[in-house]
Amino acid sequence: MKKVIMTREQLSFIDLEITGVHLGFRPAEQDIFTMLNNYPNLRTLQVPKAYHLTISDTTKTVLARNNIKLTEGSVRDAIQYLGD
């Protein structure tokens, strides 16, 4: 299942079926850890291009170690990037 998340507050809901997420905000490292805890089956994380450029190397490393693919894109093409 895929999900578009526009606010940090939406990260607090636990959903074991989420495999792809589009974030409409720049994630802080704490947001990444919240997602790892609340979405254990997460495999794809998409962020807008402007935010993708500012994500820290530490965050990218954490995502890679957890086998989560980081992509860039808009909400409009979120479904295409998130795939099935």
pLDDT in tens, 32-55: 999 999 999 999 999 998 888 899
DSSP 63: H
| pTM of the predicted model as reported, rounded to 2 decimal places | 0.85
The answer to whether the CB of 21 falls within 8 A of the CB of 2 is yes
Residue ranges in the chain modelled with pLDDT below 70 = 77-84
pLDDT mean across residues, the chain: 87
Q: Helices marked H in the chain — which ranges?
A: 29-38, 49-52, 57-65, 78-82
Question: What pLDDT, on the 0 to 100 scale, is given for residue 17?
Answer: 92
